Amino acid sequence: MAGKEASKVALRYLLGKCVPSSKQNAAKVRIPQLKFDNYFHMYFKEHEFVYANDPQKLCKTGDIILIKALPAKMTRLITHEVIEVIHPLGDITDPITGKKTVKSAYREDLDEIVQLHGRKETAYDYEKAPRRGRLENIRDFTHKKVYLKYYDNPDDPQPDTV
């Protein structure tokens, strides 16, 4: 009888956006969800926040990442694991063709237009652009949390807290 009773282990993959986190080797991930409101009979977007284990520090603030639920909690907060970075912030790649894009046009098409009409001195050159994150901890502190909310008080809303 024990052989027929197989335990079900559901692997749950989620797609979310990395937000600033004060935890070491962990990423805070904002996962959008649609919640149904019975009064309006509509779905409204709400967010769930989870912490994902990221020992290799793959993701940075603003990246769209794929995470997987761990079979057992690593700590009280860390319940997921970072699998891969799907879309890094600022470097948009078309998922079907794999080409880099700028707004709604491919970079290759823009390069052909520049060759036809000539390059301006003020034009942005993507090939010479510095890599993302080079000023982290020097002039860029967007990866750090602003202020932790330590209490909930309806009389003191604390608008700058995270």
Tens digits of residue pLDDT in 77-124: 999 999 999 888 877 788 899 898 988 899 999 989 989 999 888 888
Q: Is the pTM of this model over 0.75?
A: no
Q: Where are the beta strands (DSSP E) in the chain?
A: 13-19, 26-37, 42-53, 64-69, 78-87, 101-102, 105-106
Distance of CA 13 to the CA centre of its chain: 14
pLDDT of residue 145: 65
In this prediction, residue 148 has a pLDDT band, given cuts at 50, 70 and 90, of low
pLDDT at 1: 46
What's the angle, vertex CA 124, arms to CA 121 and CA 127, rounded to 5? 115
- Tokens representing 27? 């990423």
Task: Report the chain's mean pLDDT, rounded to a whole number.
Answer: 84
Q: In 3-state terms, what secondary structure has residue 109?
A: helix
Q: In the predicted model, is pLDDT for residue 142 greater than 80?
A: no
The pLDDT value given to residue 125 = 84
For the domain 12-87, what is the CATH superfamily, name and number?
Answer: Nucleic acid-binding proteins (2.40.50.140)
Contact 45, 30 (CB under 8 A): no
Residue type at 82 in one-letter notation:
V
Confidence of residue 49 (pLDDT cuts 50, 70, 90): very high
Report percent pLDDT > 70 for the chain. 85
Q: For residue 46, what are its two tokens?
A: 């709400």
- Residues forming CATH 2.40.50.140 domain(s) in the chain: 12-87
Residue 32 near residue 47, CB atoms below 8 Å: yes
In the prediction, which pLDDT does 8 show? 56
